[in-house]
Chains A and B, each alone.
Chain A
Amino acid sequence: MKSQLYISKVTKRNIRNGLLFVSPFLIGFTCFIAYPILASLYYSFCDFNIFQEPRWIGIENYRNMLKDDLFITSAYNTIYYTLLYIPFSLFFGIGMALLLNTKVKGLSIYRTIYYLPTLVPTVAASILWLQILDPTYGLINNILRIFGIYGPGWIADPKWAKPSLVIMGFWGIGGAVIIYLAGLQDVPQQLYEAAELDGASSWQKVIYITIPMISPIILFNLIIGIIGALQYFTQAYVMTSGGPANSTLFYSLYLFRNAFQFFRMGYASAMAWLLFITTLICTLVVLKSSARWVYYGGTK
């Protein structure tokens, strides 16, 4: 009994040191994360405009969302963008990484070229693409005109504005490509050799070896991508301010406006919490489903 209760001097010292070393994070977590999360949950049930004390109104904010057309528009736009961007970015990202992984000459040059666009600061990239997507003087429509095609109004057309932003998003796909590529290079070569002996085609090798082997990385990129897409903000703020006709009024943009332009802090907090819960649910669903499609090499 006594020996079980006895904690050695070393263990004691380790606990003290361990806590000491992680204390910056614990303090930061308490002040900048835990308290704000709880505070925003509280505000979400309040009428609050920062000039007066928050006043408890129950679930009124959440109920108002359903009646708020702009809220519904912003949620729709965000889901639209996410559903359009995520599958295409996975497909292109993996496809480009597969092409790069064929022992091509000049790999490092291609890799650099694909990665460069991700370095452009978001605001600068937004301004640049505003020009590229200009219906009359923009790069895309000028190129299309060479082939005799009169392109759509892109960013100026409510129907094309979201697809325009998705296309712009592809320009920044290089980071994901490099992550996939690193994963592809780690796939054991013997697997391919064995498959070749069995007479597998290139396509079969991709489907039955490559994709399963890099599935943990696909999972990682999928989760990061969904979290990012749900928070889409800067491009819409800088390029279109939500227009034309609210076609690029994304969730985070509308949330920001409620908080810092209309000072409806309670309503904005409720929106933030809904976003938080949605993010958690999406992540959990993807993680749950991953048991069926992610292969961990039998180790985990």
Chain B
Amino acid sequence: MQIIGDNKKKIFFKSLFIHLVLILVGITFMLPFFWMISTSLKSNEQLFVMPPKWIPTPLVWSNYPKALTFIPFFTYLRNTLQICFFCIIGTVLSCSIVAYGLSRIQWPGREVVFLLALSTLMLPYQVTMIPLFLIFKTLGWVGTYKPLIIPAFFGNGFYIFLLRQFFMTIPQELSDAAYIDGCSEFRIYWQIILPLSKPALATVALFTFLGAWGDFLGPLIYINEQNKFTLSLGLQLFRFAHDVEWSYLMAASTVATVPIIILFFFTQRTFIQGITLTGLKG
């Protein structure tokens, strides 16, 4: 009896210790969020109070409308969403079509194309950055959203890989039955494979959205007029503007973050599934 009791105690303390570490790390990870919100609600004087208060009194909610009018927030939001929308459409369509050709059709050479698609993942953006800029400049696209959107319609190695892995798991019999009924390849793709792949397509759409929402280098290179700025670009401009209080900066950063967090809580499963899908089946 004594031995069993000791063992139980040992297990209890072990799990207590693990929880303590996890909670401590969790608090450390959450502190920056609290700090961001806390700072965003401080008045100018409160910013320099030592030691700082976590819950400012009074809570200066007016920082938010002020920050959001200082930068034309809603214009930037609309611009960002516009880019996100077209990037999602382009990426989901093109990557699923290409992934279909690399997984559901047997043809010599598809392995070569697949390796080519994978190899693009190792290519630093900086290598193609300058020639791409010159191409888009020649086309007269600099200053428009086209350089940020159009390439999305020609596939992305990472999402092609992800969708290909998913398409491979769909039984071949489904396609065979459709062939016998005289279905064209495109109809099988459109009416059988795509509807069966909704979770994978959702993952691609979600990560494309996140990528486009947070992208900085692309807009930095191609967008020069302030009324065409994206949120990230606008925030950065705000950061370097003179006489900007920390509280406004934090308010603007909070507002740029909150939509993503809300989206995350509604789509958590797609998220987790997507991350594990991308990391594992290599």
- Report A's interface with B, CB cutoff 8 A: 11, 14-15, 17-22, 24-29, 31-33, 35-37, 39-40, 43, 50, 96, 99-100, 102, 104-105, 110-117, 119-125, 127-132, 137, 139, 142, 145-146, 171, 174-175, 178-179, 182-183, 186, 216-217, 220-221, 227, 230-231, 233-234, 237-238, 252, 255-256, 259-260, 265, 268-269, 271-273, 275-276, 279-280, 283
Residues of A contacting B92 in the complex (Cβ-Cβ under 8 angstroms): none
Check: B201 CB closer than 8 A to any chain A CB: no
- Report B's interface with A, CB cutoff 8 A: 15, 18-19, 21-22, 25-26, 29-33, 35-36, 39, 47-48, 50-52, 94, 97-98, 100-102, 105-110, 113, 116-117, 120-135, 137, 151, 153-155, 160, 185, 189, 210, 213-214, 216-217, 220-221, 231-233, 235-236, 239, 246, 249-250, 252-254, 256-257, 260-261, 264, 268, 271-272, 275-276, 278-280, 282
Q: Which of A217, A238, A260 contacts B280 (CB 8 A)?
A: A217
Q: Once bound together, how far apart are the Cα atoms of A31 and B94, in whole Å?
A: 15
Q: Residue of A at shortest CB range from B94?
A: A24
Most A CB within 10 A of own CB, among B33, B107, B185, B250: B107
Residues of B contacting A279 in the complex (Cβ-Cβ under 8 angstroms): 122, 124
Tell me the smallest distance from the CB of B75 to a CB of chain A, in Å: 17
A-B contact pairs, 9 of them (CB 8 A): A21-B100, A33-B128, A115-B271, A116-B261, A123-B233, A231-B126, A233-B216, A259-B129, A276-B126
Main secondary structure of the interface of B (DSSP, over half): helix
Residues of A contacting B210 in the complex (Cβ-Cβ under 8 angstroms): 119
Q: Residue of A at shortest CB range from B125?
A: A231
Tell me the smallest distance from the CB of A82 to a CB of chain B, in Å: 13
Q: Once bound together, how far apart are the Cα atoms of A55 and B176, in whole Å?
A: 58
Q: Once bound together, how far apart are the Cα atoms of A139 and B27, in whole Å?
A: 14
Q: Could you tell me if B32 and A260 are in contact, using CB atoms closer than 8 angstroms?
A: no
Q: Once bound together, how far apart are the Cα atoms of A19 and B117, in whole Å?
A: 14
Q: Once bound together, how far apart are the Cα atoms of A260 and B110, in whole Å?
A: 38
Q: Could you tell me if A31 and B154 are in contact, using CB atoms closer than 8 angstroms?
A: yes
